A = this chain, B = another copy of it.
Amino acid sequence: MYYYGREDLAYNLVFAATAEEEISGVNGIEKLLPELPPLSCGIVGEPTLMNMAVAERGLMVLDVLTTGRAGHAAREEGENALYKALTDIDWFRNYQFEKISPLLGKVKMTVTVIDTENKAHNVVPAQCHFVVDARVNELYTFEEVLETVHKHVKSEVKPRSTRLRSTSIPMDHPLVKAGLQLDRSYYGSPTTSDKALMPFPTLKMGPGDSARSHTADEYIHMHEIQEGIDLYIQLLNQVL
């Protein structure tokens, strides 16, 4: 709006309000991008208290399946898939990847879901499935993380999605330099956003506090929005 009448800008601006961000859905930003002309860079308006998230951890979800052999629990029969899974769960829980990012910290793996197909108390379970939420810093590719996992884990491991890669924008990018001029601080963000789906440099920066996300009565102050608009204008003024 603010720049709409101006014909002397160095760049064209595109404003996109897209859906399905929370689920990184295929009907969101991913669907819009092919409709747009080539893009040089972007700002993603996630709540960062108007500071600069210059890097974002990637997200890879792993489905892990441990297989044993069914048997009657009363006899010494079968091979308990749940017991076999324990060893691998312990590995995911305790393994530390060597390279620690100054911005994004460690690669973090968490086992968050588990279930046995078997629901009968007297049957030794032949299968145990669990889910690993892996947050990957920019120093590893998903393929490298997977390779390490396969090396240490006996169960069958299937990455559910590898779309949400770790992203970062160079510290000497014009958008970042402009933000530094305005005394905005910068950091690496532990959460992923639509940023991960855009194949060009993006800066995550927006009004509101990320810690309020996904809680009851999520809110944003009016003054935060007003300050956000002012800061976006000051930032873009330096670039355009």
Contacts and interface: CB of A to CB of B under 8 A. Distances in A.
Interface of A: 57, 59, 61, 72-75, 80, 82-83, 86, 89-90, 93, 108, 110-116, 118-125, 128, 131-133, 135, 160, 190-192, 214
A107 B89 CA distance: 27
B116 A116 contact: no
Nearest to A75: B190
A112 B123 contact: yes
A90 B133 CA distance: 23
A115 B112 contact: no
Contacts of A118: 112-113
Nearest to A192: B74
B114 A116 contact: yes
A72 B191 CA distance: 9
Contact of A214 (B72, B83, B111): B72
B121 A133 contact: yes
A125 to B, nearest CB: 6
Contacts of A113: 116, 118-121, 125
B82 A114 contact: yes
B122 A112 contact: yes
Nearest to A61: B121
A83 B82 CA distance: 14
A205 to B, nearest CB: 19
Contacts of A214: 72
Contact of A74 (B82, B123, B191): B191
B122 A80 contact: no
